[in-house]
Structure 1
Amino acid sequence: MLSFSTDDVAPGDRFEQWREVRSRDLFGVTIELPAERRAAFAGSFRAEKFGAAIVSEIAASAYTIRRTEADIARVAGNSLCLGLQVRGPGRLDTGSGCSEMIANGDMIINHSDLPYGATPGTNGGFHFRMLKIPVSDELTLGRSIADLSAARPLEGTRALRPLRALLDVLTTHKRASADAERDIVHIARLGLAARGRLAENLPEVRSAIRAGLRYLALDIMAEQYHQIDLTPALVARSLGLSVRHLHLLFEDAENTFGRTLVLMRAREAQRLLVGQPELTVAQVAYACGFESLATFYRVFRSVYGMAPGDARQAN
């Protein structure tokens, strides 16, 4: 992991170092900030490799940014960039005579080696997450994306909701549960579909859509696993899907919907048994959504190879 901040730099040197050492040589961009605001500048950055991609996150005081032809020649990437403007609205200049306003929560998709510029809408700073994925013909299904200038996804596409779900997973702590190789390919194809470069009826894109929707289903299950009446019908309805479609989402996964929910409940039960010894086994079972003690004992033994009481004593 690469991580740094301005905390250990003298205030008078922070912006200059960020501009010359970080932005110019590492990010491959040109940044500017009025001289009177430089003394208050602060920023932090971290990046780590995830599969073939680089996941990065930056939070800093507001400044103008440009990626020029000279920047591209110095730091080229040939990558697909999927970004999320968590905080800090502004105007994005695509470099082709077009510009658009970017609001909090907007996504930006582009090829890394095209010029762009961005002007902050406020002086309140910004927070940005990005996934940078090396381009290959296999990844893009043979489509060239060298002309994919920076822009938001198209509205109303089927790929948009699963794309947002996967971007949330892969750019936060949730990626610990992701499949790096598979999900990086999926999100790249969702991003290209959301920009109109891949048709949504392609088998590879349909597979990626299912993967993104599955993560949305997992979010619902993680929030509501403790409810005894959490059924496939309830989760499907929350997603606007049929029950059959919901089960199809889990066909490519390691476990079915039912087995996934059982494992969630069993793992939480194991955590409570060890971490909260004041709770009875029955209290743990019902707190985790099991409908009966008999079911809980059977499931727990199938997952951990021992009875709940033995698991508590073992720790």
Structure 2
Amino acid sequence: MSRTFWSTEDVATPDVFAYWSDVICDTLVQVAARSTSEAPFAGRIEHAALDGIGLSTVVSGAQQVVRTDRMIARDQEEFLLVIIQTGGRSLTRQDGRAATLLPGTMTFLDSTRPYTLEFSGIFSQLVVRIPRRLLPGRGLTGATALELDGRGPGRLVSDFLVGLDRQQRDDPAVAAVLLPHAVGLLESVLDWATRGSIAQTSAAALARERIHRFVRERIQDPALDAATVAAGCGLSRRSLFRALAADEESLTELIRRLRVTRARRLLRDRPDLPLAVVAAQSGFGGAAQLHRAFRSVVGMTPGTYRAAATDGGASPVVAGQWD
């Protein structure tokens, strides 16, 4: 178990927010952040890593944090982020949903899809970062950016996670024993949250989830198009496009993004595969099509990305840069 502490307290004023942006990217996931207040900015993060699961206590001021497709494509691992609000107020957006977080509430974010966090003033949070590989088969569609109201199962799990963070400060050995129970509890509350949200979710949101699932399952098919997706989801083409409009992402952009995501995994996990094979297994018509789409989404060529992944280095991201 390792524990690290960062603070802007000793950073020169002109460099404070750039330093803060770097800390967020290094501790959680790649994002772009900007201050939204004229007041002097301050922030601190206390981070612990426990068997691959990160526990980060964040205290900071007004800001906006954005995670884009390009940043997602540059990351080497996928995470579930569990955010528990302990002070102040924040607004979370992902997949067309918005959750207002007050002390005692909790939300889930999937690091493989874009999101936005907005903080209007001083706030504090506990952010639990869990590798998706520890939640095998867990589909997060329908549970992302879902606010739990601080009562019932949600409150029990958030209290356990806050207690686990406190315990690993006092006795890391005991915290390590309790850690597997945290993963099990999160799986249970995700099931509960998903079931509970179905009745409250609009028809358009349910259609959007169905579309995303259908496209993901058939992303290797190079003939995948609007007619196929609409028929497979039991929708008219008009309903298909209307359902996707809330995400401000067209079907073409969705297919391209998911194909690039698959190609990125193949490039990282199978460095021996020729680009033509990577393209075919990702649903692209050929290596040239893969190259164009990959460069558009990721901002670099497939070869450059594979070299960086093979070397074990992180892909370059300029702190605070909006993609």
| TM tier relative to shorter chain | 0.5 to 0.7
| Separation of aligned partners in 2, 1:141 and 1:4 | 32
Contact 2:97/2:146 (<8 A) preserved: no
2:188 aligned residue: 190
Deviation at 1:11, TM superposition (A): 1.7
Matched residue type, 1:60 = S
Q: Within the alignment, does 1:29 sit opposite 2:27 as a pair? A: no
Deviation of 1:16 after TM superposition, in Å, equals 2.4
Q: Secondary structure at the match of 1:142?
A: coil
Contact 1:67/1:116 (<8 A) preserved: yes
Which residue number in structure 1 is paired with residue 127 of structure 2? Answer: 130
Correspondence 1:149 to 2:148? no
Q: RCO greater where, 1 or 2, for CA within 8 Å and sep 6 or more?
A: 2
When residues 162 and 90 of structure 1 are mapped into structure 2, their CA distance, relative to the original with a 3 A threshold, is: closer
**How many pairs were matched up?**
189
Q: What is the TM-score of this pair, normalised by structure 2?
A: 0.51
Residues in 2 aligned to 1:35 and 1:154: alpha-carbon distance in whole angstroms:
28
Residue 112 of structure 2 corresponds to residue 113 of structure 1:
yes
C-alpha contact (below 8 Å) 1:3/1:47 kept by paired residues: yes
Q: Does 1:167 align with 2:161?
A: yes
Q: Could you tell me whether the CA contact under 8 Å between 1:87 and 1:128 is conserved in 2?
A: yes
- 1:81 matched to 2:68? The reply is no
1:67: how far off? Answer: 1.2
Alignment match, 2:59:
59
Match of 1:266 in 2: none
Instruction: Tell me the distance in 2 between the aligned counterparts of 1:160 and 1:35.
Output: 32
- Contact kept? 1:130, 1:171, Cα under 8 Å: no
Unaligned runs of 5+ residues in structure 2 are 197-323
Q: Measure the CA separation in 2 of the matches of 1:154 and 1:68.
A: 27
TM-score (norm 1): 0.52
CA 1:161 to 1:92, structure 2 compared with 1: closer, same or farther past 3 Å?
closer
1:259-278 to 2 correspondence within 5 Å? Answer: none
Asked whether the equivalents of residues 167 and 187 of structure 1 are also in contact (C-alpha less than 8 Å), the reply is: no
State the partner residue of 1:3.
Answer: 5
Higher alpha-carbon deviation: 1-10 or 144-153: 144-153
Whole-Å separation in 1 of the counterparts to 2:179 and 2:24: 29
Q: What are the superposed Cα offsets for residues 220-266 of structure 1, whole Å, 9 maximum, x if unpaired?
A: xxxxxxxxxxxxxxxxxxxxxxxxxxxxxxxxxxxxxxxxxxxxxxx
What is the Cα deviation at residue 6 of structure 1? 0.9
3-state SS, counterpart of residue 144 of structure 1: coil
Judge conservation of contact 2:107–2:144 (CA < 8 Å) in 1: no
Deviations along 1:81-101, one digit per CA (max 9) or x if unpaired, are 22111112132222x223232
Q: Which residue identity lines up with residue 140 of structure 2 in the other structure?
A: I
Runs of 4+ in 1 over 4 A off after TM superposition: 154-157
Alignment-derived partner of residue 48 in structure 1 = 48
Matches of 1:148 and 1:100, distance apart in 2? 11
